[in-house]
Amino acid sequence: MKIDSVEFFYAAMPEVTLAADGSQDALLVRVTSGEYVGWGECEASPLVSIAAFVTPRSHGVCQPVAASVLGETLDGPEDIARIAALVERNSMDLLQAAHTFSGIEIALWDLLGHRFEQPVWRLLGYEKSTPKVPYASMLFGETPEQTMQHVSAAMIAGFRAVKVGWGGFGETTVQSDADHLMAAREALGTDGILLVDAGQIWGSDVEAAALRIPALAEARATWLEEPFLAHAYGEHAQLAARSQGVGIAGGEGAHTTHMATNLIDYGKVSYVQIDTGRIGGIGPAKAVADYAHAHGVTYVNHTFTTHLALSASLQPFAGLADHRICEYPAEPSALARDITSTGLALDENGEISAPDAPGLGLDVALENLGPYLRTVDISVDGTTLYASGTSAGRAVTVDA
């Protein structure tokens, strides 16, 4: 069967603020092949990712993503890998292509799952979907007291692990950072898992990061995430060598499989965190999970948006029982909640699993999206290359 159409749905909150909250907009992708439909989601900057699908080509290896997708045969996972290789080759010089294709690739897996009536994780070769311990991802409070209150609220909601990050951490004094960390530990009690996200705040400055290690160790942080720029492998390794048992985590910026395995090989991280909405989808994320498992590194998803993205991000390590921790968007925007009709709720153990249902196992609630949908028009020389509500393959009617 052929890929008949690829449609994008750009949804955003009425006001998008400067907070480090990645759930304020979303780019959904709907792919059709014959009577089958699949859904996926690209991480961040919807307009730019749409442009990368429809842009005029610059030359043979700078073609729009559409050129490698529309009309291609899709009969099994090997076709997804083949199409991914086409994109990698034909869009070599188009930087945004990986982000655009990520959502499409996820939709191709979802579609195949519906066609073969299998969850995606089974198509990936896993025999069962093992439970994960979700951590509530949140921003530091403005004061240590606020941080303590936020973490306590997550514990009351049933979480056993919390990640705090951003919100000025690493930018003020070492003592202030230490106060926030000890407040978080106090709220977590002895057994709660504490994770800390620095959001690349120290750039390439290993010494600035190292100053925070004693407090991180004292607060028994399991990991320190993204201390440096995504490509700063040497700096990651230097910090890992003096991190007093605090694991170094990173990888969300990876837009190729190699970027993630390089962070393992050269950055010496203990946790590799992959966003299926950026790395090129579920296939490359699975390759990273296999590599991490073989190299004694723990695979973790990176997800700060919808439960569609959450399900997609669980698939690559669904069958790896020893890779237990997973990111869970604890305080998503209304938009992110409304995109799916059901979500992945915590069970009685405070755990979640990739669904047993076909594909990603979640229904996109297109009927909820009306208030959030943005219309996009892109034209070159007066010719429309993209208009919301139509697809490159055929015209469609948006139900919303």
List interacting residues with a second copy (CB under 8 A).
10, 12, 16-22, 24-25, 43-48, 51-52, 54-63, 85, 88-89, 92-96, 98-99, 199-200, 203-204, 229-234, 253, 255-256, 258-259, 262, 265-266, 278, 374-382, 385
- Strand 373-374: give its sheet, edge to edge: 36-42, 25-33, 5-12, 373-374
Comparing CB distances to a second copy, the nearer of 203 and 370 is 203
Provide, rounded to whole angstroms, the least separation between the CB of residue 252 and a second copy: 9
Provide, rounded to whole angstroms, the least separation between the CB of residue 99 and a second copy: 5
Provide, rounded to whole angstroms, the least separation between the CB of residue 11 and a second copy: 11
The DSSP secondary-structure symbol of 246 reads P
Provide, rounded to whole angstroms, the least separation between the CB of residue 33 and a second copy: 26
Residues 6 or more apart in contact with residue 290 via CB below 8 angstroms: none
Comparing CB distances to a second copy, the nearer of 1 and 20 is 20
Comparing CB distances to a second copy, the nearer of 97 and 221 is 97
Exposed (0-12), middle (13-18) or buried (19+): which is 183, by Cβ within 10 Å?
buried
Query: In the numeric block, which tokens belong to residue 283?
Result: 């296939």
Provide, rounded to whole angstroms, the least separation between the CB of residue 329 and a second copy: 13
Provide, rounded to whole angstroms, the least separation between the CB of residue 256 and a second copy: 5
Query: In the numeric block, which tokens belong to residue 233?
Result: 């492998």
DSSP string, 65-86: GGGGTTT-B-SSHHHHHHHHHH
For the chain, the first-to-last Cα distance in angstroms comes to 28
Nearest Cα neighbor of 292 from 338, 243, 250 is: 250
Residues 6 or more apart in contact with residue 251 via CB below 8 angstroms: 259, 260, 263, 269, 271, 272, 273, 274, 288, 302
CA 171 vs. chain centroid, Å, equals: 25
Comparing CB distances to a second copy, the nearer of 21 and 110 is 21
Comparing CB distances to a second copy, the nearer of 114 and 286 is 286
Provide, rounded to whole angstroms, the least separation between the CB of residue 217 and a second copy: 27
Comparing CB distances to a second copy, the nearer of 167 and 192 is 167
Comparing CB distances to a second copy, the nearer of 200 and 340 is 200
Q: How many Cα atoms occupy the beta-carbon half-sphere of 15 within 13 Å?
A: 3
Provide, rounded to whole angstroms, the least separation between the CB of residue 356 and a second copy: 32
Nearest Cα neighbor of 169 from 222, 111, 212 is: 212
In Å, what is the CA distance from 243 to each residue of 114, 127, 166, 192, 231? 45, 37, 20, 20, 19
Comparing CB distances to a second copy, the nearer of 143 and 384 is 384
